[in-house]
A and B are shown apart, each in its own frame.
Chain A
Amino acid sequence: MIALAAIALGTLAAAAVALALRDLIHSALLLIASWVGIAAFYLWAGAEFIAFAQVLIYVGAISMVVLFAVLLTRPPTAPATPVRSGRTVPGFLAGGAVLGLLAGAVLSSPLPAGMGAAPAFGVRELGLKLLGPHAGALLATGALLTVALLGAVVLAAGRGKEDAP
């Protein structure tokens, strides 16, 4: 429980600071730290494969795409005055309301309280499940990833002429 509390606090603090910062690179790096925290939670929960996959996908791949996007879309000069979106107060109210609702529901529900032993669900069992009953979904995911890759290339490449200012 102490480990869980430490992981949760670290992850939440990194995410909160990341989303409040003005410097996009710093927020991206802090968000990456919070993704690492989530991977630590998976390790704590005994989902080894998921934890390493989380680090590989989020820290290795998505973070790179995010950082490239931040660098490619940086304004040539820093904006003089920070732009106010005008949604700050309603946004915080909505987020707080959702948090209150969820926390109330969690705390009042009759959930199993036991601290069960670590389940015997290793990499081998996961592989058998993925290629056995879920093989169709795995193929569909592969198709989805291919289509997403091609779509991202088409979207980001543009038509060429518009690139000239």
Chain B
Amino acid sequence: MNPPAADPLAAGLLERLPLLARDALTGALPEPWRWVANGLLAILAIIVVFSSLFALLTLAERKVLARVQNRPGPNRAGLPLTRFRLGGLGQPLADGIKMLTKEDIVPRGADPVLHFLAPVVLLALSLLTFAVLPYGRLLVPVELEAGVLYFFAAGAATELALFMAGWASRNKYSLLAAMRALAQLISYELPLLLAVVPVVLLAGSLSTSGIVAAQAGWDLGFLPRWFVLTPWGFASFLIFLTAALAESNRSPFDLPEAESELIAGHLTEYSGFKYALFFMAEYLGMTALAGLGVTLFLGGWRAPLPFLEFVPSYAWFGLKLLALLFVFIWIRATFPRLRIDQLTRLAWKFLVPLALLNLGTAALWALTAGWGPALQPLRWLGAVALVAGPFVLLGRGLTAGLRPRTYRFA
């Protein structure tokens, strides 16, 4: 990991703990090799941490869904070869062994090279996005001047892997589902990017650590200056969250693999290890998008209250990330799936106009940054009106003439 701009010695011992551990491991090496070893160690740390997070996330998702639906969820598998069940904590291990020992089937008419490459490319690209997230005050794996752009460039290429999977399977359901997935991903790429642009505008930086640095400080002595706590930032955050759900194929936007309509979409012809790779890439993509949301809107690794700053920054990042992931699971348990026409209409007629208007609001916010304390309430009122007014009007306009469905035979 690169040494950041801040003076590392000024931070506390807990804050420097990961760096100290790294130096203890690689400190003996001569200079060019040390740099290489540090890079490899960062890659290894990211892979290990987020792979185990993925394993725990699959279990957490099933447990939370079960809790919402009033059933116990997986609770049998525990420590292998013992009688300790630990509330089902061994489930990811059992799932992994099941996936690895399944037969890997390639359809006869399939394109074997592309069929193999699709999950590999997808996983590699979703791992690439983790490189630019600032995990802590001193933990930025790669410091890029255009970090946000890099994140989206790596994320945009996942569409290609989806197409490869659908086309290489030589199955009409796979291809149809892949085309639908592409339509969805392209539709939601737009609001996702448009929701990020106001943040870049206000932070004046495309680098992720620059955006975190722009959210430093406290209002009134205790309110953090996170972007989500401004009118435009709140609207941006909601648009970002919706688009991120759609980009990571999560319910209520999980049409690409809607098992009740399209068998399993582009995953139909995948089994065993390749299926597990797809699964893992999907969860990693969701985690990366949640991490970007934390960085852009929720202050990154910053503590929520001034007196809590003694807790190391990476702990705050982890807590916020887990909270956002919990929201994702919660949404999955709550909302029914959308239809494909509703899905695209939501993106093009609702989210994109709102995001564009929100960009204007953010520009006004930036222009009025110099207003004195007397004019601040006016600034807030104006911004709130600019955010809430179009939301209400557009929502009314789009749902005019629609009533809740009545079930006569239920």
Chain B residues with a Cβ closer than 8 Å to the other chain, count: 23
**Scoring B residues 142 to 156 as 1 if CB is less than 8 Å from chain A, else 0, what string do you get?**
001110011011101
- A56 to B149, Cβ gap below 8 A? yes
Contacts A29-B164, A60-B189: A52 and B159 contacting too (C-beta < 8 A)? no
Name the contact of A60 in the complex, choosing from B145, B146, B153 (C-beta under 8 A).
B153
Tell whether B356 is near chain A: CB-to-CB under 8 Å: no
Closest A residue to B206 by CB, please name it: A123
Name the contact of A64 in the complex, choosing from B159, B167, B175 (C-beta under 8 A).
B159
Name the contact of A61 in the complex, choosing from B156, B163, B164 (C-beta under 8 A).
B156
* Residues from chain B with Cβ under 8 Å of A67 in the complex: 163
* Residues from chain A with Cβ under 8 Å of B79 in the complex: none
Docked pose: A51 CA to B114 CA in angstroms: 25
Name the contact of B159 in the complex, choosing from A25, A60, A124 (C-beta under 8 A).
A60
**Which residues of chain B from 147 to 181 have any CB-CB distance to chain A below 8 Å in the complex?**
149-150, 152-154, 156-157, 159-160, 163-164, 167, 175, 179
- A52 to B145, Cβ gap below 8 A? no
Tell whether A71 is near chain B: CB-to-CB under 8 Å: yes
* Residues from chain B with Cβ under 8 Å of A68 in the complex: 179, 182
- A60 to B163, Cβ gap below 8 A? no
Tell whether B43 is near chain A: CB-to-CB under 8 Å: no
Chain A residues with a Cβ closer than 8 Å to the other chain, count: 20
Closest A residue to B163 by CB, please name it: A67
* Residues from chain A with Cβ under 8 Å of B19 in the complex: none
- B167 to A59, Cβ gap below 8 A? no
Tell whether B186 is near chain A: CB-to-CB under 8 Å: yes
Docked pose: A52 CA to B153 CA in angstroms: 6
* Residues from chain A with Cβ under 8 Å of B179 in the complex: 68, 71
Docked pose: A59 CA to B189 CA in angstroms: 14
Docked pose: A67 CA to B179 CA in angstroms: 10
Name the contact of A56 in the complex, choosing from B152, B160, B163, B167 (C-beta under 8 A).
B152
Give A66 Cβ to nearest chain B Cβ, in Å.
Answer: 11
**Scoring A residues 53 to 67 as 1 if CB is less than 8 Å from chain B, else 0, what string do you get?**
101100111011001
* Residues from chain A with Cβ under 8 Å of B175 in the complex: 71
Name the contact of A48 in the complex, choosing from B114, B146, B154, B186 (C-beta under 8 A).
B146
- A59 to B156, Cβ gap below 8 A? yes
Docked pose: A60 CA to B145 CA in angstroms: 21
Give B306 Cβ to nearest chain A Cβ, in Å.
Answer: 31
- B186 to A64, Cβ gap below 8 A? yes
* Residues from chain A with Cβ under 8 Å of B157 in the complex: 55, 59-60
Docked pose: A67 CA to B164 CA in angstroms: 10
Contacts A59-B160, A63-B160: A53 and B145 contacting too (C-beta < 8 A)? no
* Residues from chain A with Cβ under 8 Å of B153 in the complex: 52-53, 55-56, 59-60
Docked pose: A56 CA to B153 CA in angstroms: 5
Closest A residue to B148 by CB, please name it: A52
Give B232 Cβ to nearest chain A Cβ, in Å.
Answer: 20
- B146 to A52, Cβ gap below 8 A? yes
Tell whether A18 is near chain B: CB-to-CB under 8 Å: no
Docked pose: A123 CA to B211 CA in angstroms: 14
**Scoring A residues 109 to 124 as 1 if CB is less than 8 Å from chain B, else 0, what string do you get?**
0000000000000111
Docked pose: A49 CA to B167 CA in angstroms: 32
Closest B residue to A127 by CB, please name it: B206
Contacts A32-B160, A55-B153, A123-B206: A64 and B146 contacting too (C-beta < 8 A)? no
**Scoring B residues 34 to 56 as 1 if CB is less than 8 Å from chain A, else 0, what string do you get?**
00000000000000000000000
Docked pose: A49 CA to B175 CA in angstroms: 34
- B149 to A53, Cβ gap below 8 A? yes
Name the contact of B156 in the complex, choosing from A49, A60, A123 (C-beta under 8 A).
A60
Docked pose: A49 CA to B153 CA in angstroms: 11
**Scoring B residues 365 to 409 as 1 if CB is less than 8 Å from chain A, else 0, what string do you get?**
000000000000000000000000000000000000000000000
Docked pose: A52 CA to B186 CA in angstroms: 18
- Of listed B153, B154, B182, residue having the most chain A CB within 10 A: B153
Closest A residue to B204 by CB, please name it: A124
* Residues from chain A with Cβ under 8 Å of B164 in the complex: 29
**Which residues of chain B from 197 to 211 have any CB-CB distance to chain A below 8 Å in the complex?**
206-207
* Residues from chain B with Cβ under 8 Å of A124 in the complex: 145
Name the contact of A29 in the complex, choosing from B114, B144, B207 (C-beta under 8 A).
B114
Name the contact of A25 in the complex, choosing from B149, B156, B167, B182 (C-beta under 8 A).
B167
Give A135 Cβ to nearest chain B Cβ, in Å.
Answer: 15
Docked pose: A29 CA to B156 CA in angstroms: 15
* Residues from chain B with Cβ under 8 Å of A53 in the complex: 149, 153
Give A54 Cβ to nearest chain B Cβ, in Å.
Answer: 8
Docked pose: A32 CA to B157 CA in angstroms: 10
Q: Offer 9 A-B interface pairs, CB within 8 angstroms, sorted by A.
A: A25-B167, A48-B145, A53-B153, A55-B156, A59-B153, A59-B160, A60-B157, A67-B163, A68-B182
